[in-house]
Amino acid sequence: LSSILLDEKKDNTDKVREKAICFGKESHVLRMKEEGILDGKWYQRGALPFSVEQQQQCELPVYAAACSSGYIRLYGLQKQYSSTDNTKDWNLVPLASSSDSLQDETESNDNALCLSLDWNHSIPPSSSTTHEIVSSYSDGTIKTHEIQINETITEIHETNSWMAHSMFHQPSEVWTTCFATNAHHTSPNNLILSGGDDCTMKLWDVRSTTSPMSKIGCDENESGGVTSISYHPNLEYVFASGSYDEIVRLWDIRYLSSFSSGNKKKKQPLASVNVGGGVWRLKWHPSKDNVLLVAAMHGGCRIVNVSDFVLGDNDEKEEETKDVVAEKKYINSNLICSCKTNVVKEFKEHQSMAYGADWIYFSSLTNNEDDDDDEKEVEVAASCSFYDKSAFIW
């Protein structure tokens, strides 16, 4: 049995200002009896609309689920009346499925699991009703999908598919994939990153998928299956990768693609840090560019701090050190040579492996200028494991 639960944040200013965080009213918003959910991502233009005023001002978010059946299913988050107590509860309403375009659902990936997915956030939401998703599968393939979302209908259509990862001439699980772009920059949105059980990370151009633009294998840095890749939501060229080898690595994508295939020089990460367990999820902080949350399986969860970026030109000449947050524009115009990473917090309350982790973040809850800046925002992390069937906020 697979299900998604939402906890509704109550408007309780006193608790927020006292930094007291607790689970709110729990409600099942989606139950799936015949397939599991292996990954899920929200597409939204702003914060989740918890108040009536917010709901009237923004478009409700869409949730994309990567399912064990091999399909991608889209759901819209809406408030619906409950017949039991005449109140409105959040529900995920089915919008579309990748199986809708198939004449027969058996046409899917021959029972391949859909392991991960990612929305293309570089497409301006105000300019088009067309969106894009990339997904990865247990049979070694990657697919891209065009999503049409408007007031009357939502459709999902496959636009590209290719064999991306293999090992010993057999398909290898593609554990993770993402678009190499974010919503804040005009980088080309045709680049995709992927990581597989074949211990390689690859950079693809969807316009030509016969071979990757760049490949990092176990003979260079990745010494375990690449399980998670997370592109930075604000910085233009930075992304993080994680593997079964318990190492989180940071990269500048320009450095990754700056070598020709004939150059034998190894592609080195900007920095790396051991987090004590296989890396299953990486989540950048929603407002702090130098903070990264890690779900490290049997190692629990870690918070990694990134600092001291060293910049250089394309000839790899080192320049002065600049702060990652204050000098964001400067970083985006220069090739990054290195940075420092260290674990600043640990969470080990899970009795088994920590597989899921994300941030819970609220800011600008009050407009009172006399309030301390620290009282204007609340940030906690949430983590979960399906083995001990538990979720924590910390």
The reply to whether 139 falls in a domain is: no
- Work out the pLDDT band at 231, boundaries 50, 70, 90: very high
CA 274, distance to chain mean position in Å, is 20
The reply to whether 59 falls in a domain is: no
DSSP, res 298: T
Place of tokens 């005449």: 86
The reply to whether 236 falls in a domain is: yes
* The pLDDT of residue 125: 55
Which pLDDT tens digit goes with each residue over 27-46? 777 777 778 999 999 987 55
The most confident of 151-155, 290-294, 324-328, 369-373, by mean pLDDT? 290-294
Residue 279 is part of a domain; what is its CATH number? 2.130.10.10
The reply to whether 340 falls in a domain is: yes
> What are the b/e assignments for 181-200, b being 16+ CB within 10 Å?
bbeeeebebbbbbbbbbbbb
The reply to whether 94 falls in a domain is: no
Count of structural domains, the chain: 1
* The pLDDT of residue 7: 60
The reply to whether 65 falls in a domain is: no
The reply to whether 237 falls in a domain is: yes
Q: Is the pLDDT of residue 376 over 70?
A: no
Place of tokens 């980088």: 187
* The pLDDT of residue 29: 76
* The pLDDT of residue 54: 46
Q: Is the pLDDT of residue 99 over 80?
A: yes
Specify the range with the lowest mean pLDDT, choosing from 10-19, 63-72, 231-240, 244-253: 10-19
The reply to whether 239 falls in a domain is: yes
* The pLDDT of residue 366: 45
Q: How far is CA 212 from CA 153, 163, 302, 366, in A?
A: 35, 11, 31, 48
Mean pLDDT of the chain: 79
Give me the domain span that covers residue 358: 164-394
